[in-house]
Chain A
């Protein structure tokens, strides 16, 4: 039982490059989330998807796009990476469509030079 799987675990980008973070869960959860974590800032919500086919902005959506490909997969795309997007990114899922117990992936550490 893998839970929430994120790829890649580490990535270094140059300013202006694009990339996609992939996330998949095998728990049949309805809701999926992308958070970023910066030192001293806690976890901040970027985007979430309450159900397949829907996505909504969180606290810090600028510079990101998401796709809920199906019930299992939720990807996060940086179209033109900036140094301010250097962070650790966590994907999470929850069973219901409301704020609920979150299961997190292992995280993806992104550095933008």
Chain B
């Protein structure tokens, strides 16, 4: 079992819709969770970090964390074509406090 799993997609949503991206992780002791966005041919860039159970909102983005169920999700409201990218979930696995483990990413396409 992979430590961090994401649905690879591709996920397509119409412009203006809510895009929901999910990530599950295997280590119950994980404490830090991140979402990165990567445009094709570019490097990953941080969108959100979340450390506590619940929701964290930043503009059109909401990260949700449920440690009991071991999942973290990213919601993108009012999706725009410019949101089309691959979204990477990253988790700081306990016992590897200096390392982030990345999921394989979900490719999102927002259709005009």
Residues of A within 8 A of B (CB): 31, 35, 40-45, 48, 50, 56, 58-59, 90, 97-107
Contacts and interface: CB of A to CB of B under 8 A. Distances in A.
B43 A97 contact: no
Contacts, number: 58
Contacts of B60: none
B75 to A, nearest CB: 20
A107 B9 CA distance: 24
A103 B100 CA distance: 13
A42 B34 CA distance: 14
Contact of B97 (A98, A102, A103, A105): A98
Nearest to B89: A42
Given A31-B98, A99-B32, 5 more contacts: A98-B92, A99-B96, A99-B97, A104-B43, A106-B43
Interface residues of B, number: 24
A48 B8 contact: no
Contacts of A100: 32
B98 A50 contact: yes
Q: In this complex, which of A35, A40, A56, A101 has the most chain B Cβ atoms within 10 angstroms of its Cβ?
A: A101
Nearest to B86: A42
